Structure 1
Protein backbone atom coordinates (compact mmCIF):
# COMPACT_ATOMS: atom_id res chain seq x y z
CA UNK A 1 0.00 0.00 0.00
CA UNK A 2 2.78 2.41 0.93
CA UNK A 3 4.65 1.51 -2.26
CA UNK A 4 1.58 2.43 -4.37
CA UNK A 5 1.32 5.82 -2.66
CA UNK A 6 5.02 6.46 -3.19
CA UNK A 7 4.67 5.54 -6.89
CA UNK A 8 1.67 7.89 -7.24
CA UNK A 9 3.57 10.73 -5.55
CA UNK A 10 6.56 10.21 -7.83
CA UNK A 11 4.31 10.19 -10.92
CA UNK A 12 2.54 13.34 -9.71
CA UNK A 13 5.85 15.12 -9.23
CA UNK A 14 7.10 14.05 -12.67
CA UNK A 15 4.00 15.31 -14.53
CA UNK A 16 3.95 19.09 -14.91
CA UNK A 17 1.12 20.79 -13.07
CA UNK A 18 -1.26 22.66 -15.39
CA UNK A 19 -1.76 26.24 -14.32
CA UNK A 20 -4.18 28.69 -15.89
CA UNK A 21 -5.00 32.22 -14.74
CA UNK A 22 -7.28 34.76 -16.34
CA UNK A 23 -5.23 37.96 -16.50
CA UNK A 24 -7.96 40.10 -18.04
CA UNK A 25 -11.08 40.21 -20.18
CA UNK A 26 -12.30 42.88 -22.55
CA UNK A 27 -14.61 43.70 -25.43
CA UNK A 28 -12.49 44.35 -28.51
CA UNK A 29 -15.41 45.21 -30.76
CA UNK A 30 -19.17 45.37 -30.30
CA UNK A 31 -22.02 46.37 -32.53
CA UNK A 32 -25.78 46.20 -32.02
CA UNK A 33 -28.06 47.33 -34.80
CA UNK A 34 -31.80 47.56 -34.13
CA UNK A 35 -32.93 47.26 -37.75
CA UNK A 36 -36.59 47.01 -36.79
CA UNK A 37 -36.55 50.43 -35.09
CA UNK A 38 -34.58 52.01 -37.95
CA UNK A 39 -37.24 50.89 -40.43
CA UNK A 40 -40.02 52.12 -38.15
CA UNK A 41 -41.58 48.66 -37.88
CA UNK A 42 -43.56 47.92 -34.75
CA UNK A 43 -45.85 45.23 -33.45
CA UNK A 44 -45.46 41.71 -32.17
CA UNK A 45 -43.05 39.53 -34.08
CA UNK A 46 -41.72 36.05 -33.43
CA UNK A 47 -37.91 36.25 -33.62
CA UNK A 48 -35.67 33.50 -34.98
CA UNK A 49 -32.04 33.90 -33.98
CA UNK A 50 -29.06 32.55 -35.90
CA UNK A 51 -25.80 32.32 -33.96
CA UNK A 52 -22.32 32.04 -35.46
CA UNK A 53 -19.23 31.52 -33.30
CA UNK A 54 -15.57 31.82 -34.31
CA UNK A 55 -12.59 31.30 -32.03
CA UNK A 56 -9.05 32.57 -32.27
CA UNK A 57 -5.98 32.27 -30.05
CA UNK A 58 -2.54 33.81 -30.32
CA UNK A 59 0.63 33.97 -28.30
CA UNK A 60 1.46 37.24 -26.57
CA UNK A 61 5.03 38.56 -26.22
CA UNK A 62 5.27 37.62 -22.51
CA UNK A 63 6.14 34.03 -21.60
CA UNK A 64 3.15 31.69 -21.16
CA UNK A 65 0.62 34.40 -22.07
CA UNK A 66 -2.08 33.99 -24.70
CA UNK A 67 -4.99 36.00 -26.04
CA UNK A 68 -8.15 34.07 -26.84
CA UNK A 69 -11.11 35.68 -28.60
CA UNK A 70 -14.68 34.60 -29.18
CA UNK A 71 -16.32 36.29 -32.15
CA UNK A 72 -20.08 36.02 -31.94
CA UNK A 73 -22.58 37.05 -34.63
CA UNK A 74 -26.30 37.05 -33.88
CA UNK A 75 -28.89 37.71 -36.57
CA UNK A 76 -32.54 37.87 -35.58
CA UNK A 77 -35.23 37.64 -38.25
CA UNK A 78 -38.99 37.67 -37.94
CA UNK A 79 -40.34 34.12 -38.04
CA UNK A 80 -41.80 33.36 -41.46
CA UNK A 81 -40.44 36.60 -42.93
CA UNK A 82 -37.06 37.74 -44.17
CA UNK A 83 -37.22 40.98 -42.19
CA UNK A 84 -34.14 41.43 -40.00
CA UNK A 85 -35.01 42.56 -36.47
CA UNK A 86 -31.52 43.07 -35.10
CA UNK A 87 -27.85 42.30 -35.70
CA UNK A 88 -25.35 41.83 -32.91
CA UNK A 89 -21.61 41.36 -33.34
CA UNK A 90 -19.31 40.87 -30.39
CA UNK A 91 -15.57 40.17 -30.23
CA UNK A 92 -14.83 39.23 -26.62
CA UNK A 93 -11.25 38.50 -25.54
CA UNK A 94 -9.46 37.03 -22.58
CA UNK A 95 -5.81 37.19 -21.62
CA UNK A 96 -4.54 33.98 -20.07
CA UNK A 97 -1.39 32.77 -18.35
CA UNK A 98 -1.04 29.05 -19.16
CA UNK A 99 1.76 26.79 -17.93
CA UNK A 100 2.33 23.06 -17.75
CA UNK A 101 0.31 22.13 -20.83
CA UNK A 102 2.28 19.90 -23.24
CA UNK A 103 2.98 21.62 -26.57
CA UNK A 104 0.87 19.13 -28.55
CA UNK A 105 -2.14 19.83 -26.29
CA UNK A 106 -1.79 23.60 -26.08
CA UNK A 107 -3.90 24.46 -29.14
CA UNK A 108 -6.95 22.42 -28.04
CA UNK A 109 -6.53 23.76 -24.49
CA UNK A 110 -6.60 27.36 -25.74
CA UNK A 111 -9.54 26.74 -28.07
CA UNK A 112 -11.67 24.77 -25.59
CA UNK A 113 -10.83 25.53 -21.96
CA UNK A 114 -10.17 29.26 -22.30
CA UNK A 115 -13.45 30.00 -24.16
CA UNK A 116 -15.29 27.99 -21.49
CA UNK A 117 -13.95 30.43 -18.92
CA UNK A 118 -15.04 33.45 -20.96
CA UNK A 119 -18.48 32.22 -22.03
CA UNK A 120 -20.54 33.16 -18.93
CA UNK A 121 -19.37 36.77 -19.24
CA UNK A 122 -20.10 36.85 -22.98
CA UNK A 123 -23.58 35.41 -22.32
CA UNK A 124 -24.36 38.18 -19.81
CA UNK A 125 -23.17 40.89 -22.20
CA UNK A 126 -25.37 39.54 -25.03
CA UNK A 127 -28.36 39.38 -22.69
CA UNK A 128 -27.80 42.98 -21.56
CA UNK A 129 -27.24 44.29 -25.10
CA UNK A 130 -30.39 42.74 -26.53
CA UNK A 131 -32.50 43.84 -23.56
CA UNK A 132 -31.11 47.38 -23.70
CA UNK A 133 -31.72 47.36 -27.47
CA UNK A 134 -35.47 46.96 -26.92
CA UNK A 135 -35.83 43.19 -27.31
CA UNK A 136 -36.32 40.37 -24.83
CA UNK A 137 -32.89 39.38 -23.46
CA UNK A 138 -31.20 36.66 -25.49
CA UNK A 139 -29.94 33.95 -23.16
CA UNK A 140 -27.46 31.95 -25.21
CA UNK A 141 -27.43 28.19 -24.79
CA UNK A 142 -24.15 26.68 -23.66
CA UNK A 143 -21.69 26.24 -26.49
CA UNK A 144 -19.98 22.87 -26.83
CA UNK A 145 -16.45 24.11 -27.48
CA UNK A 146 -15.16 20.52 -27.85
CA UNK A 147 -17.60 19.86 -30.71
CA UNK A 148 -16.79 23.25 -32.23
CA UNK A 149 -13.07 22.40 -32.14
CA UNK A 150 -13.60 18.94 -33.65
CA UNK A 151 -15.81 20.33 -36.42
CA UNK A 152 -13.14 22.88 -37.32
CA UNK A 153 -10.49 20.14 -37.44
CA UNK A 154 -12.67 18.02 -39.74
CA UNK A 155 -13.39 21.04 -41.96
CA UNK A 156 -9.66 21.76 -42.28
CA UNK A 157 -8.87 18.09 -43.03
CA UNK A 158 -11.57 18.00 -45.74
CA UNK A 159 -10.24 21.25 -47.18
CA UNK A 160 -6.69 19.83 -47.17
CA UNK A 161 -7.77 16.59 -48.87
CA UNK A 162 -9.55 18.58 -51.60
CA UNK A 163 -6.37 20.54 -52.26
CA UNK A 164 -4.30 17.34 -52.56
CA UNK A 165 -6.89 15.76 -54.90
CA UNK A 166 -6.89 18.78 -57.23
Structure 2
Protein backbone atom coordinates (compact mmCIF):
# COMPACT_ATOMS: atom_id res chain seq x y z
CA UNK A 1 0.00 0.00 0.00
CA UNK A 2 2.86 2.37 0.68
CA UNK A 3 3.94 2.17 -2.97
CA UNK A 4 0.40 2.96 -4.15
CA UNK A 5 0.42 6.09 -1.97
CA UNK A 6 3.77 7.16 -3.43
CA UNK A 7 2.49 6.66 -6.97
CA UNK A 8 -0.59 8.78 -6.24
CA UNK A 9 1.51 11.73 -5.02
CA UNK A 10 2.53 14.25 -7.68
CA UNK A 11 6.19 14.39 -8.59
CA UNK A 12 8.17 16.85 -6.51
CA UNK A 13 8.46 20.24 -8.16
CA UNK A 14 12.03 21.39 -8.72
CA UNK A 15 13.01 24.07 -6.22
CA UNK A 16 13.20 27.47 -7.90
CA UNK A 17 16.24 29.69 -7.31
CA UNK A 18 15.49 32.66 -5.10
CA UNK A 19 17.34 35.97 -5.19
CA UNK A 20 16.81 39.16 -3.24
CA UNK A 21 18.78 42.36 -3.57
CA UNK A 22 19.68 43.35 -0.02
CA UNK A 23 21.36 46.60 -0.97
CA UNK A 24 23.48 48.38 -3.54
CA UNK A 25 25.97 51.21 -3.35
CA UNK A 26 28.89 53.00 -4.96
CA UNK A 27 32.00 51.60 -3.24
CA UNK A 28 34.46 53.81 -5.10
CA UNK A 29 34.18 56.45 -7.79
CA UNK A 30 36.43 58.89 -9.58
CA UNK A 31 35.41 61.43 -12.21
CA UNK A 32 38.04 63.56 -13.86
CA UNK A 33 36.95 66.36 -16.21
CA UNK A 34 40.23 66.70 -18.08
CA UNK A 35 38.92 69.16 -20.68
CA UNK A 36 37.88 71.66 -17.98
CA UNK A 37 41.25 71.33 -16.24
CA UNK A 38 42.97 72.29 -19.49
CA UNK A 39 40.56 75.20 -20.04
CA UNK A 40 39.35 73.82 -23.35
CA UNK A 41 35.79 73.63 -24.64
CA UNK A 42 34.00 70.25 -24.44
CA UNK A 43 32.04 71.04 -27.64
CA UNK A 44 33.47 68.14 -29.66
CA UNK A 45 32.17 64.78 -30.85
CA UNK A 46 33.09 62.24 -28.16
CA UNK A 47 34.34 58.71 -28.68
CA UNK A 48 33.41 56.77 -25.54
CA UNK A 49 35.22 53.59 -24.52
CA UNK A 50 33.74 51.44 -21.73
CA UNK A 51 35.67 48.69 -19.94
CA UNK A 52 33.69 46.35 -17.71
CA UNK A 53 35.01 44.05 -14.99
CA UNK A 54 32.94 41.88 -12.69
CA UNK A 55 33.77 40.45 -9.30
CA UNK A 56 31.78 38.27 -6.91
CA UNK A 57 32.45 36.84 -3.49
CA UNK A 58 30.64 35.06 -0.70
CA UNK A 59 29.95 37.08 2.43
CA UNK A 60 30.24 35.72 5.96
CA UNK A 61 26.44 35.44 6.34
CA UNK A 62 24.74 32.32 4.95
CA UNK A 63 23.49 32.62 1.36
CA UNK A 64 24.79 36.19 1.00
CA UNK A 65 27.02 37.37 -1.82
CA UNK A 66 28.61 40.60 -2.96
CA UNK A 67 28.78 41.33 -6.69
CA UNK A 68 30.69 44.31 -8.09
CA UNK A 69 30.50 45.90 -11.52
CA UNK A 70 33.62 47.97 -12.18
CA UNK A 71 33.45 50.41 -15.08
CA UNK A 72 36.20 52.50 -16.57
CA UNK A 73 34.77 54.99 -19.07
CA UNK A 74 37.09 57.12 -21.15
CA UNK A 75 35.73 59.80 -23.45
CA UNK A 76 38.05 61.17 -26.13
CA UNK A 77 37.47 63.63 -28.94
CA UNK A 78 36.85 61.80 -32.24
CA UNK A 79 39.14 64.31 -33.95
CA UNK A 80 42.52 63.90 -32.27
CA UNK A 81 43.37 62.17 -29.02
CA UNK A 82 42.16 64.78 -26.55
CA UNK A 83 40.75 63.06 -23.46
CA UNK A 84 37.52 64.74 -22.35
CA UNK A 85 36.82 62.82 -19.16
CA UNK A 86 37.57 59.61 -17.31
CA UNK A 87 35.02 57.98 -15.01
CA UNK A 88 35.84 54.98 -12.86
CA UNK A 89 33.11 53.49 -10.71
CA UNK A 90 32.92 50.37 -8.54
CA UNK A 91 29.21 49.59 -7.99
CA UNK A 92 28.26 46.81 -5.57
CA UNK A 93 25.12 44.79 -5.04
CA UNK A 94 24.49 42.65 -1.95
CA UNK A 95 22.39 39.56 -2.63
CA UNK A 96 20.66 36.81 -0.72
CA UNK A 97 20.58 33.73 -2.96
CA UNK A 98 19.05 30.32 -2.26
CA UNK A 99 18.40 27.11 -4.20
CA UNK A 100 21.09 27.61 -6.85
CA UNK A 101 23.18 24.46 -7.40
CA UNK A 102 26.85 24.95 -6.55
CA UNK A 103 27.98 24.27 -10.12
CA UNK A 104 25.68 27.05 -11.37
CA UNK A 105 26.50 29.63 -8.69
CA UNK A 106 29.48 31.22 -10.51
CA UNK A 107 27.58 32.05 -13.73
CA UNK A 108 24.53 33.07 -11.67
CA UNK A 109 26.60 35.57 -9.68
CA UNK A 110 28.32 37.01 -12.75
CA UNK A 111 25.31 37.12 -15.09
CA UNK A 112 22.03 37.42 -13.19
CA UNK A 113 23.21 39.59 -10.31
CA UNK A 114 24.88 42.27 -12.48
CA UNK A 115 21.80 42.25 -14.71
CA UNK A 116 19.68 43.18 -11.67
CA UNK A 117 21.78 46.15 -10.52
CA UNK A 118 22.92 47.50 -13.92
CA UNK A 119 19.94 49.87 -14.43
CA UNK A 120 20.87 51.63 -11.19
CA UNK A 121 24.53 51.89 -12.22
CA UNK A 122 23.40 53.30 -15.58
CA UNK A 123 21.55 56.09 -13.75
CA UNK A 124 24.61 56.86 -11.60
CA UNK A 125 26.80 57.17 -14.73
CA UNK A 126 24.22 59.41 -16.41
CA UNK A 127 24.00 61.69 -13.36
CA UNK A 128 27.78 61.91 -12.85
CA UNK A 129 28.53 62.77 -16.48
CA UNK A 130 25.74 65.37 -16.53
CA UNK A 131 26.86 66.88 -13.21
CA UNK A 132 30.44 66.82 -14.52
CA UNK A 133 29.57 69.22 -17.34
CA UNK A 134 28.84 66.82 -20.21
CA UNK A 135 25.66 65.53 -21.80
CA UNK A 136 24.34 62.58 -19.73
CA UNK A 137 25.97 59.34 -20.85
CA UNK A 138 23.28 56.68 -21.23
CA UNK A 139 25.10 53.36 -21.34
CA UNK A 140 23.89 50.66 -23.70
CA UNK A 141 22.75 47.41 -22.10
CA UNK A 142 25.64 45.09 -21.32
CA UNK A 143 25.37 41.49 -22.48
CA UNK A 144 26.56 39.81 -19.28
CA UNK A 145 26.22 36.34 -20.83
CA UNK A 146 28.72 37.20 -23.61
CA UNK A 147 30.97 38.94 -21.10
CA UNK A 148 30.98 35.81 -18.93
CA UNK A 149 31.63 33.47 -21.87
CA UNK A 150 34.47 35.67 -23.16
CA UNK A 151 36.12 35.71 -19.73
CA UNK A 152 35.87 31.91 -19.41
CA UNK A 153 37.37 31.50 -22.90
CA UNK A 154 40.15 33.97 -22.07
CA UNK A 155 41.02 32.05 -18.90
CA UNK A 156 41.04 28.73 -20.77
CA UNK A 157 43.33 30.17 -23.46
CA UNK A 158 45.62 31.57 -20.79
CA UNK A 159 45.80 28.20 -19.02
CA UNK A 160 46.31 26.17 -22.24
CA UNK A 161 49.93 27.26 -22.99
CA UNK A 162 50.91 26.38 -19.40
CA UNK A 163 49.59 22.84 -19.90
CA UNK A 164 51.47 22.28 -23.18
Q: TM-score, normalised by structure 1?
A: 0.92
Deviation >3 Å, runs of 4+: none
Instruction: Say if 2:160 is the partner of 1:161.
Output: yes
Instruction: State the partner residue of 1:139.
Output: 138
Whole-angstrom CA distance in 2 between matches of 1:122 and 1:146: 18
Instruction: State the partner residue of 1:3.
Output: none
Instruction: State the partner residue of 1:10.
Output: 11
Query: Residue 87 of structure 1: CA displacement?
Result: 0.2
Instruction: State the partner residue of 1:105.
Output: 104
C-alpha contact 2:42 2:84 (8 A) present in aligned 1: no
Q: How does 1:17-166 map to 2 (within 5 A)?
A: 17-42=16-41, 44-165=43-164
Whole-angstrom CA distance in 2 between matches of 1:43 and 1:100: 50
Count of residue pairs brought into register by the alignment: 157
C-alpha contact 2:67 2:110 (8 A) present in aligned 1: yes
Question: Which runs of no fewer than 5 residues in structure 2 stay unpaired?
Answer: 1-7
Question: Which runs of no fewer than 5 residues in structure 1 stay unpaired?
Answer: 1-5
Supply the RMSD in Å over aligned alpha carbons.
1.2
Whole-angstrom CA distance in 2 between matches of 1:87 and 1:43: 13
